[in-house]
Amino acid sequence: MTTLPRIDRDRLPALLEAMPKAELHIHIEGSLEPELMFRLAERNGVALPYPSVEALRAAYAFKDLQSFLDIYYAGASVLRTEQDFHDMAWAYLVKAAQEHVVRAEIFFDPQTHTARGVEMGTVVAGLSGALERARRELGVSCDLILCFLRHLSEEDAFQTLEQALPYRDRFIGVGLDSSERGHPPEKFARVFARCRELGLHLVAHAGEEGPPEYIRSALDVLHVERIDHGVRCVEDPALVRRLAEQRVPLTVCPLSNVKLCVFSRMEDHNLGQLLARGLVATVNSDDPAYFGGYLNQNFQACFEALPLDATHAWQLASHSFEASFADAADKRRWHERLAETFEQFA
């Protein structure tokens, strides 16, 4: 579409809700709601260090990435069986379908589970079973991306890759997450090179809390196709120009950034600046059960706090399709649906 239909400001919330979109940065363990966490804890005889759902929710006050990760990894300890992984992923996918997410590229952190004695096969079977069901029953296009935990060694990442290779057809790529500061992308150069040889898609968290140099090395050393977060790129104007020219997507997670104090308030978030500088920025939920909102709540919060309009909504949805690892025919179809939705709101 060359010219967008005019859309009144008061129709923006409904447009954001209804427009088709892709979610490219969601950690499935971060979608585990307290209610399901308590049900799984009971089912598996796991003790949680909180007496109730309310007490657990009250503990979700984070001062930085690490203070969140400590609680997030503890929460994942209730996941034991294939059914548990299925139930968690299915709950997310049902919610995603309701929010008009037509494509979801879903991170999982196998080391969080294998370190506790849960088999890689159990994790992958549970998650990929839920994804298969979502394709069939919900019509959501979805795939898994395996993330290496960067606070662990490259040796551990190699072992994890080895354990995952029997299930090579169940995931489309690898990523890099967990504590960013002090764990630069270079630490994982060899394991990413191996994943590249294997034909896997490559992404990495960079420039969330870490410096812009980590974004550069994710590109130059790891050869990633997308940067997860990347909001600190604005500190390096030459890097911003490069990201724009090469159309390297950034999977931005606004509510996460505020909850983890990357920005003090949503009004201070740089999403608008990123778009104004021509970056392929997208909106994502990161860990929705912990950060106070799924994808549509991320959109609503940004558009309430920032000077964004229907043109930005179009850009963000369009970028999400462009940045996805789906095939070209699907991307074309979603763009057409996007145009139809905008026409309905004109």
Query: If residue 107 lies in a helix (H) or strand (E), which one and from where to where?
Result: strand 101-108
The answer on whether 327 is annotated among ligand-binding residues is no
User: 266, 301 in Cβ contact below 8 A?
Assistant: yes
The answer on whether 100 is annotated among ligand-binding residues is no
Name which of 19 and 118 has its Cβ closer to ligand ADE. Answer: 118
**Distance (Å, whole) CA 291 – CA 99:** 17
Residue 30 contact among Zn ion, ligand ADE, none, beta carbon within 5 to 8 Å by kind = ligand ADE
List the catalytic residue out of 132, 208, 235, 343: 208
Helix, strand, coil abundance in the chain, percent, nearest 5: 55, 15, 30
Q: How far is the CB of 287 from ligand ADE (least distance, A)?
A: 5
Name which of 30 and 125 has its Cβ closer to Zn ion. Answer: 30
Residue 178 contact among ligand ADE, Zn ion, none, beta carbon within 5 to 8 Å by kind = ligand ADE
Question: Whose CB is nearest to ligand ADE?
Answer: 177
Residues that bind ligand ADE (CB under 6 A): 27, 30, 65, 72, 177-178, 205, 208, 256, 286-287
Q: How far is the CB of 186 from ligand ADE (least distance, A)?
A: 17
Q: How far is the CB of 26 from Zn ion (least distance, A)?
A: 8
The answer on whether 183 is annotated among ligand-binding residues is no
The answer on whether 335 is annotated among ligand-binding residues is no
User: What residues form DSSP beta bridges with 293?
Assistant: none
Residue 208 contact among Zn ion, ligand ADE, none, beta carbon within 5 to 8 Å by kind = ligand ADE
Q: How far is the CB of 134 from ligand ADE (least distance, A)?
A: 21
Name which of 177 and 331 has its Cβ closer to ligand ADE. Answer: 177
Task: Tally Cβ neighbours within 10 Å of residue 32.
Answer: 26
Query: If residue 163 lies in a helix (H) or strand (E), which one and from where to where?
Result: helix 154-164
DSSP assignment of 259-271 equals HTTSSSSGGG--H
User: 269, 263 in Cβ contact below 8 A?
Assistant: yes
Q: How far is the CB of 322 from Zn ion (least distance, A)?
A: 20
Number of residues that make up the chain: 346
The answer on whether 268 is annotated among ligand-binding residues is no
Residues that bind Zn ion (CB under 5 A): 286
Q: In this structure, what DSSP letter does residue 6 have?
A: P
- Show Cβ contacts of residue 148 under 8 Å, excluding neighbours closer than 6 positions: 111, 157, 160, 161, 174, 175, 176, 177, 188, 191
Active site residue 209: no
The tokens of 8 are what?
């009144």
Q: Which residues are annotated as a binding site for Zn(2+)?
A: 25, 27, 205, 286
Q: What residues act catalytically?
A: 208
Q: Which residues are annotated as a binding site?
A: 25, 27, 205, 286-287
